[in-house]
């Protein structure tokens, strides 16, 4: 699965359209509100993850080799040197 932030944007707008559906009854509205809450919760985590990746790139751009040598201390961070 290769999702992009643009895919997330599309999902958010689709959910907004479902929330605005004039034909929804009370039960349908409640289901969509619950779905929206779940979507927002997951979306928040995706955005936080993307922001963290941007910070990592900024560190590499601004501090290069100094930061790269410290990445070995964090096994969950890939520095891309093997690729």
Which DSSP state fits 71?
G
Domain contains 83: no
Instruction: Determine the structural domain holding residue 24 and report its residue range.
Output: 5-73
Residue 37 belongs to some domain of the structure = yes
How far apart CA 19 and CA 16 sit, in angstroms, is 5
* Counted domains in the chain: 1
Closest CA to 36 of 11, 10, 72, 70: 11
Structure-block tokens of residue 20: 């605005």
Compute the chain's Rg from CA coordinates.
19
How many residues in the chain? 83
Q: What is the mean pLDDT of residues 76-81?
A: 55
pLDDT in tens, 14-64: 999 999 999 999 999 999 999 999 999 999 999 999 898 888 888 888 887
Q: Euclidean distance between the first and final Cα of the chain, in Å?
A: 20
Give the pair of three-digit tokens for residue 48. Answer: 């936080």
Instruction: Determine, yes or no, domain membership for 82.
Output: no
Task: Let me know if residue 81 belongs to a domain.
Answer: no
Quote the pTM value.
0.70
């Amino acid at each position: 699965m290769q999702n992009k932030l643009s895919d997330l944007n599309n999902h958010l707008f689709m959910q907004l359209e479902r929330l605005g559906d004039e034909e929804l009854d009370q039960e349908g509205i409640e289901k969509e509100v619950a779905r929206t809450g779940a979507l927002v919760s997951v979306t928040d985590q995706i955005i936080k993850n993307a922001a963290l990746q941007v910070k990592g790139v900024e560190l590499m751009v601004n501090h290069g080799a100094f930061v790269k040598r410290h990445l070995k201390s964090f096994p969950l961070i890939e520095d891309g040197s093997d690729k």
